[in-house]
Amino acid sequence: MNPTLADFGKDVWWIVLIKIVAVFVFLVVMTLFTIWYERRVVARMQVRPGPNRHGPFGLLQSLADGLKLAFKEDIMPLKADRVVFFLAPVISTVCAFTAFAIMPFGPFVSIFGQRTPLQLTDIPVAVLLVLATSGLGIYGIVLSGWASGSTYPLLGGLRSSAQMISYEVAMGLSIVAVFMSAGTMSTSEIVTKQADSNWYAILLLPSFVIYAISAVGETNRAPFDLPEAESELVGGFHTEYSSLKFALFFLAEYINMVTVSGLAVTLFLGGWRMPFLPDWLNQGWWGALWFTIKVLILLFMFVWLRGTLPRLRYDQFMKFGWKVLIPANLVWILVLAGVKTVNAHAPQQRWYWIGGAFALVLLAAIFWPSKKDSPKPTLEQEVAARPAGSFPVPPLDLQVPVSPRAQRITAEREVV
């Protein structure tokens, strides 16, 4: 029996408490594990051992790092806005944790004799909760950049927020196709619907591809890790942060990775169900295992991307989001809606409609006005084309006079 919306909100209070703590611990452990996992995998890709000293296979490395961070000096720059500087990492962390409340880990299980779904809770607008919290999480980043009172964090925070909101649009649009197919926003019911039909990653492949790309952009991960482009912005928004505050940002980033992976598993990859398995392996606690395995595979993809692709330039990145992902998404939604409508209302004439649409696209492609690049005008032509009285164009071999500051410094040196 599959959990439905009506099965939630009926737990005893101590079951709810156990589940809350379990989700919290799951996220913290996943973060510690993912940091180690990422370092090991990247190390293997770069033919070096990676962390292997603390514990078996270096598994305790991130725990040791976390403890060490706690005992580091907590520095707050003089120019920082004290209250906001303090609150920004908390906002990031809280939003990251809250988003995971609706992830379905499995079907009904029995905890101390109580029958309950293996999921903290489910609401009619569950997926919207994830989008809302990830939207609020941007506040943590932009406020930390602003409150630092420093140039690099400000630029990093702005970049980060611009990037995240741009890719949030693409992410939000890619999920529309899932809602159209499932007819619900509740995560547990979306998982059930996929068991009836097929994984939505197969049925709605374009949506899944767009979701995967925008998830990488949304979590500020390589190759879209522009807010943390060391050569341009030092550390980005968390440049001024140290000690546990920095650890909180780190935690939030990795939890967000787990969350987008978990959402991808839930919406597109069949949730906690594993295909081709006997029925008894898709019941009870097994679901949590399959869910975790799928999330880890997706996390491996994140690391793989980081180990493979170089970082994009910022204008290319924004162009890709706004000019490719969003229109492609809208067209795909229209196509899907058209196919579904034709299937529902005129299944006999299906092929006429598909042929008609295909012919239309073909005609548009043939008659699309070709873009002719006009030859680039030379400098003289450009200057001649300017209106009279324009600002004079400096010659290419202009000798720039030495600045007064540089002159002063040279003079001071000579005196010494």
Sites for other proteins among residues 134-163 (CB under 8 A): 146, 148-152, 154-155, 158, 161-162
Asked if 168 and 218 touch (Cβ cutoff 8 Å), the reply is yes
Cβ closer to other proteins: 309 or 337? 337
Dist. CA 274–CA 72, nearest whole Å: 44
* CA 367 and chain centroid, separation: 38
How many residues are listed for the chain in this entry?
416
Q: Kindly indicate which of the ranges 96-104, 214-222, 379-387, 399-407 contains the residues binding other proteins, using the contact rule CB under 8 A.
A: 96-104
Near other proteins by CB under 8 A: residue from 39, 40, 193, 245: 245
Should residue 223 be labelled a site residue for other proteins when binding is judged by CB under 8 A? no
Interface with other proteins by CB under 8 A: which range of 10-18, 54-62, 211-219, 292-300? 10-18
| CB hemisphere CA count around 4 (13 angstroms) | 3
* Binding piece for other proteins, criterion CB under 8 A, among 19-27, 194-202, 270-278, 380-388: 19-27
Round to whole Å and give the CA distance between 15 and 115: 10
Tell which one of 130, 143, 201, 247 touches other proteins (CB under 8 A).
247
Residue 93 makes contact with other proteins by CB under 8 A = yes
Supply the DSSP symbol for 48.
S
Q: How far is the CB of 141 from other proteins (least distance, A)?
A: 13
Regarding 2 and contact with other proteins (CB under 8 A), the answer is no
Annotate 345-412 with DSSP letters as a single string: H-STTHHHHHHHHHHHHHHHHHHSPP-PPPPPPPHHHHHHHSPTTPPPPPPTT--PPPPHHHHHHHHH
Q: Which is nearer to other proteins, 40 or 200 (CB)?
A: 200
Interaction of residue 169 with other proteins, rule CB under 8 A: yes
Rounded Cα–Cα distance for residues 195 and 266 (Å) = 11
Closest separation between CB of residue 209 and other proteins, Å? 18
For the chain, counts of helices (H) and of strands (E)? 16, 2
- From 21-29, 56-64, 264-272, 283-291, give the range in contact with other proteins by CB under 8 A: 21-29
Restricting to residues 32-91, which ones interact with other proteins according to CB under 8 A?
Answer: 70-79, 86, 89-90
Alpha-carbon torsion (282, 287, 289, 295), positive or negative: positive
| Residue ranges in 114-133 that form contacts with other proteins under rule CB under 8 A | 120-124, 128-129
**Considering beta carbons, is residue 327 or 377 the nearer one to other proteins?**
327
By beta-carbon proximity to other proteins, the closer residue of 73 and 397 is 73
Best CA proximity match to 121, nearest among 241, 8, 4: 8
Cβ distance to other proteins smaller for residue 40 or 193: 193
Burial group, residue 108, by CB count within 10 angstroms (0-12, 13-18, 19+): middle
Contacts of 229 (CB under 8 A, 6+ apart): 236, 311
Judged by CB under 8 A, does residue 94 bind other proteins? yes
Q: Is the peptide bond before 401 cis (omega within 30 degrees of 0)?
A: no
- Looking at residues 386 to 405 of the shown chain, list those that interact with other proteins (rule: CB under 8 A): none
Read off the tokens for 103: 């992830």
Q: Which of 3, 8, 32, 265 binds other proteins (CB under 8 A)?
A: 8
* Least spacing, CB of residue 88 vs other proteins, in Å: 9
As a whole number of angstroms, the distance between CA 67 and CA 382 comes to 62
CB of 72 to other proteins, least distance (A): 5
CB of 10 to other proteins, least distance (A): 7
Residue type, 404: P
Question: How many residues bind other proteins, per CB under 8 A?
Answer: 90
Q: Measured from the CB atom, is 34 or 184 closer to other proteins?
A: 184
**150 neighbors 79 (Cβ within 8 angstroms):** yes
CB proximity list for 273: less than 8 A, separation 6 or greater: 191, 194, 195, 282, 287, 290
User: Taking CB under 8 A as the criterion, which residues in 182-211 touch other proteins?
Assistant: 183-185
Give the one residue of 60, 180, 209, 296 binding other proteins; rule: CB under 8 A: 180
Half-sphere exposure of 309 (CA within 13 A, CB side): 15
Q: Rounded to a whole number, what is the largest CA-CA distance in the chain?
A: 94
Q: Which of residues 255-294 bind other proteins (CB under 8 A)?
A: none
Nearest by Cα to 266 from 166, 122, 380 = 122
CB of 160 to other proteins, least distance (A): 11
Give the contact letters, 316-355, x = binds to other proteins (CB under 8 A), - = no.
--xx--xx--xx--x--xx--xx-xx--xx----------
